[in-house]
Amino acid sequence: MQLASPNLDVLSSFMTFLPSLIQLLTTYWKLILASFVIWSVIVFLRRGKQSKEYSSLLAPPVGSSPSHQASLNGSDGIPPMYHRSYSQISDRPTSTKLSSQDQEDLNVTISQKQDARVKQPYEAFLVLDVEATCQEGAGFEWPNEIIEWPVCLMRWKDKSNLGKACQLEIVDEFRSFVKPTWRPQLSQFCTELTGITQAQVNSAPNFQKVLKMFARFLARHGLIDPKSGRPIQRFCWCSDGPFDVRDFVVKQCFISKAPMPPWLKGDVLDVRRVVSVWAVASGNPETMAKQLEALGLPAFQGRLHSGIDDTRNIARVMTELARRGVRLEPNTSINTNRRWNWMGKPGEVLEHTLMF
């Protein structure tokens, strides 16, 4: 019995078609050769174009500074992940294999090629971080009185006619200590926390006087009308957390029996909240140190809980958020009529409600 061999079958079929194949090749060899040459040229040109696109993205532009090169390497302190929201990496060809580091570099470079300027609705920002009297363990429901009023005035350096900007800088500062009136004696805890001494508050003006001095500062900078106190430019209060205007100022106005000036009733931006949304990967950056770290900025500068130093560091965070193209606008509502348990008649603190 003869066994069928599939290999022999294929070979015999091939031998049958071989003469026809040779005839075809000899007849159309010019056409086949020309098609091959055209295909090779197309493949060569496409490869060249792709590698040029990648090299222009990976290499620094001609004449670029070492800092630019450093930022490509992620060594400018800005974790590349923060640039992701700007990247258009999905539009890029993916046929060539890139390492994950190359991919990160691409993200960074593409983001740098874009104009980070976004439309910014505010003309100026008043960064404020008050310090106040406090007792260890008393918490924040207590009648804290403001003892330091430090403000950094920030303005755009590069605002276009369309209102786009990304460079925010401090243009002036205001700082005054404030004399407390309900409990004029600072606790040791308060002095240790804030670095503010009894002598500094003893010789300071009271809150109403500081408000007047500060209103003159605002008027001098064209932010408010000197007579009515109404804002004449769009400015926004900025603080670390919602507490400064929402709680400390409202409490202080009650204790001082001072109506809240129109320029203090304005818009409030909680900078910490913006950072926590922006730097999702870093969790909730509750301290200034964590916020700076989350944004890849150098460590806190100065003394923590010194009002002016806290304010300047918040301003650094603002500058960085602006640089990254974050639209800076209010995110905190203020209730000027908010009442605490210890509040009696205007200016009156109900001592019996307090444990400290």
How far from 165 is each of 196, 228, 235, 328, CA to CA, in Å?
A: 37, 30, 15, 11
**Interacting residues with ligand AMP (CB under 6 A):** 129, 131-132, 134, 144, 193-194, 305, 310
Smallest distance, Å, CB 79 to ligand AMP?
Answer: 26
User: Residues 77, 108: contact at Cβ < 8 Å?
Assistant: no
Torsion of CA 156, 157, 161, 164, to 10 degrees: -60
Return the one option of ligand AMP, Mg ion, none that residue 194 interacts with (CB less than 5 to 8 A, by type).
ligand AMP
Return the one option of Mg ion, ligand AMP, none that residue 144 interacts with (CB less than 5 to 8 A, by type).
ligand AMP
Smallest distance, Å, CB 325 to ligand AMP?
Answer: 27
Active site residue 192: no
Q: Which is nearer to ligand AMP, 139 or 283 (CB)?
A: 139
Q: Of 123, 131, 145, 148, which residue is the catalytic one? A: 131
Q: Which is nearer to Mg ion, 104 or 129 (CB)?
A: 129
Q: Are strands 146-156 and 118-119 parallel, antiparallel or unpaired?
A: unpaired
How far from 143 is each of 39, 49, 78, 129, 135, CA to CA, in Å?
A: 82, 69, 41, 17, 10
CB neighbours of residue 244 within 10 Å: 25
Smallest distance, Å, CB 130 to Mg ion?
Answer: 7
Return the one option of Mg ion, ligand AMP, none that residue 313 interacts with (CB less than 5 to 8 A, by type).
none
Return the one option of Mg ion, ligand AMP, none that residue 354 interacts with (CB less than 5 to 8 A, by type).
none
Active site residue 123: no
User: Residues 223, 124: contact at Cβ < 8 Å?
Assistant: yes
Smallest distance, Å, CB 93 to Mg ion?
Answer: 49
Smallest distance, Å, CB 214 to ligand AMP?
Answer: 18
Measured distance CA(336)–CA(334) in Å, rounded: 6
Q: Which is nearer to Mg ion, 145 or 310 (CB)?
A: 310
**Interacting residues with Mg ion (CB under 5 A):** 129, 240, 305, 310
Q: Which is nearer to ligand AMP, 165 or 294 (CB)?
A: 294
Host H or E run for residue 277: helix 271-278
Measured distance CA(150)–CA(159) in Å, rounded: 26
Residues acting as catalytic residues: 131, 305
